[in-house]
Structure formats: C-alpha cells, structure tokens
A and B are shown apart, each in its own frame.
Chain A
C-alpha cells in the first residue's frame, strides 16, 4: 500500500531512479523478513535454550564448588562455561542460509531478482544484509544473556575474555551463512563441492578454543577476510546470470 503511494507521487529526473532503487531494496528486505520471521523466532528459541541451560549450570557449579574454585578453574584450567555454545552460531548460520537461499534456487526463482528494476548486485547484497543482520541479532541475544550472567559471577576480566574468546564463533556463523549461500547459488555440482571444502577448511579453524583469548591476534586477519567474504557471493551471482 505504502509502495503504491510512493509511486503515485510525482517524481522526476535522477531522484526517481534512486527512489525506485531504494524502494526495491526495501521491498527485497521486506520480502526476506516476511519469509524468515517465523523460522527466525523458532531459531531464536533454539539458540536461547542452550544459553539458559549453560547459565543455570554456571549457577549450580558456583553453589556446589564455590566462587574460589570456579575462578581458579577459569584462570588456570581455562574451564569456560560457555564453550558448549560454540557450535550454536554456525548452526544458526547454516539454517538461516538454507532457509533464505534454498527457495531462491528452486525452479530458478533467483532469475526474478535478475529482472527487477535494480542492479542485481544491490539486490543480492540486500538479501545478504538482511540475512546477516538477522543472524547477528539471533546470535547476540543468547550471547548477551551469557555475558550478563558471567558479569554477575566473575570479575571484569572475564567479560573481555568472553568477548575475545567467543568472537570467532560469530565470525564462523557469518562464514557458514556466506558459504551456504555460495554453495546453493553455484550452478555446477563440482564447484559446490569445492566451496563446501573451502568453507569447512576455513570454519574448522575457528573452533580450536582450548584456552581463552587464543584468537585475539587473529582479529586483524579475520576481519578483512569477513568483509571480503561479504562480496564473495557476487562472483557466483555473475556465474548464475551468465548461464
């Protein structure tokens, strides 16, 4: 209804092109929101449940072993209550990637995107923007819950360690999401296999957390790679388009 109203307003010249482009991008985002909101709610519940369990486990451990032992185990044995959460974000990334892009590849529905009155690059980036934003939102709620619980029981150092220890898992979630998208969009099976191998090779390196803060020095390497990764699916879009 709102879109129709905007079209009816008298707009002229270059501004109208930008406006149509903006409307189309917002429409894509809206379409993706409509498509994903119910599964997203389920995923949110699925991600919050393990984090609530881990927080309750932490409370139980503190009552059983006492704060001194819990602190010592954390500092010297690197026993971190949240490490079991590590595989939840990539799992969410995988599910979200499948939910978002599998329907697009069925019966070549992605071709619709290529025929919208906007640049297909912007269209795909809009898809990714909404996907990654939703993924980060879904991951951040249980993450914040655990951070809040950690703050109650542990000193301030724990929180910085929590952020530096768990950031690779969020990065892994985004990489899993992007490689799921790339694999689904790639037209040839042989290259699908190559991308799965490449994605697994990269993501598996992000879960070797046997001590806290071990990935601290990889931030300057992983962050540019993550930014570059955001544009990687465009290569596959071009291949899809060239078929």
Chain B
C-alpha cells in the first residue's frame, strides 16, 4: 500500500503545481485588471519631464508638476519629438534656444532604442549573418556567409552549400588574432537586419572582457580594438560588458549601449567611441525596460517597471541635465490584491517577462496565505482527531493544506484514494 500512497502523493504534487498556475490565472482573468505604465518624454520648451498616462479610459498628458495639457498643447511643448504633426499644422517654431528647427534635421537626429529584459535571456545560436553594401546606395543586403564563433577560431559558413569556407575562416581568424583578440568570445552582439541606416558589424567581447568591433569590408575582415581607438582607453579598461545593444541610428551618434557586469549602463558615443556612464540609480537590467530616446538637443534615458520609473536627460554635450524618479502606484484595486494574497500562498508560472525560456517560476509568495494555511491545517487535524479519523489520509490532507493551502485542499479532493470508497466503507464496517 505504501507504493500506491506514494503514487497518490505524486498525483497531489502534480495537481498542486497545476492548480497554483491555473487558479490565480482564472482569478485575474475574472477580475480583469490591466496595468498601464506612463511614457516619459523631456520637454525642450518647458525643460521638464512630461508624461503620457492612461487613467483607464483616456490618455492624460501631464508634466512632473502634475499640470495637465491637451494633446495639442502637449505636442507644442515637445516639438523635438512631435515635429511632424506641428509642421503639418504650421505650428513648428523656427528656433528653439538659438537652434534652428528644420524637420529634415530633426528627423535625422531622432533616435529610439529600447532594451527589454527578455533580450538578456533568450535562446540563440552562435551564428551571425554578414551584411554587404551600404544603405546609402540602397544595397545593404545579406550575403550567403554566416560566421560561427568557436572556442579557438571562427568558421565562415556558406548558407547556399551548407559548408565551411576554410580559406576565409582562417583569414578572418588571423585578422582577429592580429588585433590581439583572445578566444573564446564571451559574447557577440549585432543587429542582423537590413532595415537600418548603416551596418556597425558586430561588437565582440573576448575572454579578457575587451571589446572589439568586427566588420566586413569588400570581403575582408576589419577588426578594431575599441579601447585602442577610443579617446578614453582607461575607462574602457574598467568596463566588463555583460550585454551590448547595438544602436545604428541615422546620425551615428549613439553607437551602442553597454550593460556591464555590475549592472551599470554605458552609452558609447560618436566617432571616438566615448563611453558615458548613465547615472540611473535604480536600473536593474533583468527587470526593467530601458528606453533611449534621442533628438537634436537631448538624449533621454529612462527605465521602468510596473512600480517605478526613473529618467535622466543628457544635453548636447552628453552632460547630465536633469533627472526624475517616481514610485508608480499600481492600478490594481487593493481589495483584489488582498484577496489574492490571502487565498494563494504562491503563484506558479511557466514563463516570465524577462526570459524566453520556459521554467517553473514561483512568484507572489504570501506570508498571509501561509498563516491561513497553518490555521486551516490545525482545524482539519482537530476535526479529524475528534472524529477519530486521524489516519494516513487525514495526515496527507493536513500536510497538503499546510504547505499549499487551497491548492493542496483541492488537489486532495480531486485525486482519488488508493482504494474505492465503497470498498473503504466495507473495510470500515468490518
């Protein structure tokens, strides 16, 4: 009977695992709560942070002093972002602080890059396409070659024949070694699409955490040691990149953003590859969404989760101009959250926002629910003890309720006993 009891325990465990996923899912489906985060911009006219906020029914335009604006007023105080609409209405000012506003120039200097936490934990293969040509000539396109980074060399794979081009592979490996690249590559970062203004190639981090730029020019590999060509080699020596987001914007200003192993954010600017550390105090790359929004005068860097928003703005010379932090109030009604915290000891998820990988992720662990579980288990034990039914089944029920609350209780009821109830009654009568 021990075997069958053990199998029943496994069934209950499986039931608890699935119920702890589906019950909270159904609860929030019925409660129908949506969470919307504000979107932050920097007003070049007011020199303040301004926001789009959704109050559940409408978009509300506000600034950091809680002053509200109409949609048209909002466009007018953010001319560097909404210049197209203003130009169409004839409302685009000629000058803004001695800078002439020309739509073509504003468009050229507009940039938008975002880093979702999921990018940091996503499946990938060490195989990268090589692009050719230039977008100016309208010829930026894929070649048939893909690079594979191995532990001590690179392979150039021809997609058409599905074979390795040994000559070119050796040549490219040699070029990397000439630039003092040390295998194996810790990370290779690029933007393998033809839908971009130009191609930066790949930023590669070698085994000593040095950053190299790898490009193909007329069929030959060009490898640059970034620390050597930069005007801040000492700063580059301090950076240990964990992730590099390649930017490739029209104005070639922001080359890439680097998250280092200490979770600091660096922006690499201009032809000189100048690294600038962004003073975001609350940024956690694996949890927060990062947006880099550049225009003719400013670079706005913001990071946010459902509960917090932080933004900094850099001026034309990449100096810190202003910063903003806000604790965001969750739009979920408190009574709905309280009920959830009391009845669900935890929630099992099989996926999470910051990873493409499936897994068993336990979230929302609630102490209140575990206290309730303890009292419920004691009550069940007392009732069974008084009814003189303190057997193995009752003990299992108590344990299930103690450890998993409502999930354990339901799983215990849904999974049948080792023997059928009719037989059990007969057994009890005897």
Q: Enumerate chain A interface residues (CB-CB to B < 8 A).
A: 66-72, 75-76, 121, 152-155, 157, 161, 186-188, 191, 194, 197-198, 201-202, 205, 208, 211-218, 221, 225, 228, 231-232, 234-235, 238-239, 242-243
Residue of A nearest to B419 (CB): A242
Tally A-B pairs: CB < 8 A: 122
Known interface pairs A217-B359, A221-B360, A235-B418; A211-B14 also in contact (CB < 8 Å): no
Minimum CB–CB distance from B417 to chain A (whole Å) comes to: 8
Whether B143 contacts A68 by the Cβ 8 Å rule is yes
Q: Enumerate chain B interface residues (CB-CB to A < 8 A).
A: 3-4, 7-8, 10-11, 14-15, 18, 21-22, 122-127, 129, 142-144, 146, 148, 157, 159-160, 162, 192-193, 350-351, 356-360, 414-420, 422-423
Distance of A66 Cα from B129 Cα, bound (Å): 14
Whether A155 contacts B420 by the Cβ 8 Å rule is no
Measured between beta carbons, the chain A residues less than 8 angstroms from B129 are: 68, 71-72, 75
Whether B419 contacts A238 by the Cβ 8 Å rule is yes
Measured between beta carbons, the chain B residues less than 8 angstroms from A212 are: 123
Q: Which of A157, A217, A239 contacts B418 (CB under 8 A)? A: A239
Known interface pairs A201-B18, A217-B358, A242-B420; A153-B162 also in contact (CB < 8 Å): yes
Residue of B nearest to A215 (CB): B358
Q: Which of A186, A202, A217 contacts B416 (CB under 8 A)? A: A186
Distance of A176 Cα from B8 Cα, bound (Å): 19
Distance of A80 Cα from B395 Cα, bound (Å): 49
Known interface pairs A188-B420, A242-B420; A231-B157 also in contact (CB < 8 Å): no
Whether A218 contacts B358 by the Cβ 8 Å rule is yes
Known interface pairs A152-B162, A198-B14; A208-B423 also in contact (CB < 8 Å): no
Whether B159 contacts A68 by the Cβ 8 Å rule is yes
Known interface pairs A205-B350, A235-B4; A194-B414 also in contact (CB < 8 Å): yes
A selection of 19 A-B contacts at a CB cut-off of 8 Å is A71-B127, A71-B129, A71-B146, A72-B142, A72-B192, A121-B3, A157-B126, A191-B416, A201-B22, A202-B14, A214-B123, A218-B360, A221-B360, A231-B10, A235-B11, A238-B418, A238-B419, A242-B423, A243-B420
Whether A75 contacts B14 by the Cβ 8 Å rule is no
Distance of A242 Cα from B124 Cα, bound (Å): 53
Whether A67 contacts B162 by the Cβ 8 Å rule is yes
Residue of A nearest to B128 (CB): A75
| Given pairs A231-B3, A239-B418, A243-B423, 19 additional interface contacts (CB within 8 A) | A68-B143, A68-B144, A69-B142, A71-B159, A72-B129, A121-B3, A161-B123, A161-B125, A194-B414, A198-B14, A198-B18, A198-B414, A205-B350, A213-B357, A214-B356, A214-B358, A217-B358, A232-B11, A238-B419
Measured between beta carbons, the chain B residues less than 8 angstroms from A186 are: 416
Measured between beta carbons, the chain A residues less than 8 angstroms from B127 are: 71, 75, 155, 157
Distance of A211 Cα from B193 Cα, bound (Å): 18
Distance of A153 Cα from B160 Cα, bound (Å): 9
Minimum CB–CB distance from B412 to chain A (whole Å) comes to: 12
Known interface pairs A68-B129, A68-B160, A205-B350; A234-B360 also in contact (CB < 8 Å): no
Whether B423 contacts A154 by the Cβ 8 Å rule is no
Whether A217 contacts B357 by the Cβ 8 Å rule is yes
Minimum CB–CB distance from B145 to chain A (whole Å) comes to: 9
Minimum CB–CB distance from B410 to chain A (whole Å) comes to: 10
Measured between beta carbons, the chain A residues less than 8 angstroms from B159 are: 67-68, 70-71
Whether B7 contacts A231 by the Cβ 8 Å rule is yes
Residue of B nearest to A182 (CB): B11
Measured between beta carbons, the chain A residues less than 8 angstroms from B144 are: 67-68
Nearest first, the 9 A-B pairs at minimum CB distance are A213-B123, A242-B419, A67-B159, A157-B125, A242-B423, A201-B18, A235-B7, A194-B414, A191-B416
Known interface pairs A214-B357, A234-B3; A243-B162 also in contact (CB < 8 Å): no
